[in-house]
Amino acid sequence: MTGEIIKSIEVIPLKVKLIEPFIISLGKLEYADNVVVKITTQNGIIGFGECSPFRSIHGETAETCLAVGKIISENFIGKDALKIEELVSLMDKIIFGNTSIKSAFDISLYDIASQHSKVPLYEFLGGKNDKVIHTDYTVSIDTPEKMTSDAKKILNAGFPVIKVKLGGTAEQDIFRMKSIRAAVGNEIPIRIDANQGWSKEDAIYILSELKSLNIQHCEEPILKHSFLDLPEIKNASAIPIMADESCCDHLDAARLIKIKACDLFNIKLGKSGGIFKAMKILRLAEENNIGVQIGGFLESRLGFTASAHLALSSPAAKFFDFDTPLMFEEDPIKGGIRYGERGLVTLPVGTGLGAYL
C-alpha cells in the first residue's frame, strides 16, 4: 500500500451530560468527559477516534488526554498513518500507560487505513458483518428500590439482557439482586459487575448466594491487583468470572490464562490502548476457548462504533455492552452505529469507521 502521510491532527474535548448519574463502586459520573482525535492525511483522508478516560481506572482525565494528545500529535505529524504497528510502538515509547488517549489515536489510524483500503473497518480487521449484536442495558448502584425500578424499565423496554452494577457489602448486594430478580422474573439473563468492590471472601460468599438467580457472568469481583486470587474465586463459583480491570492488554490476558484465573475477558479499547492490542487479546481468547465481551466506558456512538467493528472481527466476541450512548442527553455524532428494538445494534454502511464528529 502507498502511504497516507499525516498532515494535521486535532484533539477535541467532547463533554456530554448524562440523563441520570452513572454510579459504580468506583464513583459517580454525571457527564461523559471524552476526547476525540481527528487525523487528516495529505491525501485528504480523515480518521476519527474517541476515548472516555476514567480517573479511577485509567489514571487519566480529559485534561491529561488533551496534554498527552498534544505530545503524541507532535510526534505523528509527517508519519505514515498506515504503519499502525510502528505508531502504536511509538506512542508506548513516548509515554508509559495513558491507554485511553492512545486508544483514540489508534482508532483514528484504523479509520484511515480501512478507508484507504476502501473497505469497512470490520473487513479490514478480517471480519464479516454476519453477527447479530444486541446490547445489554445497565442498572447503576443505588437503593434496592431504585435499582429494582430501573431493572423493570429495562425489561419493559425489551432489552435482552440486564447488567447490574454492584460492589457494596455482601448483605446489600445479595438483597439488591434478589429484589431485582423477583421483580423481573427468572427468564431474562442478568450480568453483574462488582468493579473490584468485593474482598475474596465476600466474592465467594456472594456468588454462592446468587447462583440460583440466572446470572450470566460476574465482572471483576475483586481488586485488579489481587488477580492471583481469581483462580480460587473461579473454582468456587457456579457463576462464570469475567476479567475486566485486571485484563487491559494482551500481556495481562496471557498472565490470566496462565494461572486459569477467569472464564471470560472484557475487552475495552480504552483499556487496551486501541484496536491493535485488542486484536491480540482476541487471538489469545480464540486459542484458549475464552469467551469475550466487548464493552467500553462512556464513549459516544463514535467510540462504540469502533467497538462494534471489533466485535465482528472474532468469533470469540459473544457478549456486547454498548449501552452508554443511550444514556446521553444529546447525541453529537454523525454516522456510526444505530440502536433499534431490543437493543439491536447496526453498523454504518461504507468504508472505514463510518462515524465522525
Give the catalytic positions in this structure.
Answer: 165, 193, 219, 244, 268
User: Do the bridges between strand 6-24 and strand 344-346 make them parallel or antiparallel, or are there none, so unpaired?
Assistant: unpaired
Handedness of CA 86, 274, 293, 253 (dihedral sign): positive
Give helix 275-287 / helix 250-258 axis angle, nearest 10°: 20
Residue 250, C-alpha cell as written in the block? 494482551
Give helix 84-94 / helix 62-76 axis angle, nearest 10°: 120
Q: How far is C-alpha 29 from the chain's CA centre?
A: 16
Sequence letter at residue 102:
K
**Residue in the block written with cell 482525565:** 61
Half-sphere CA count of 132, side-chain side, radius 13 A: 7
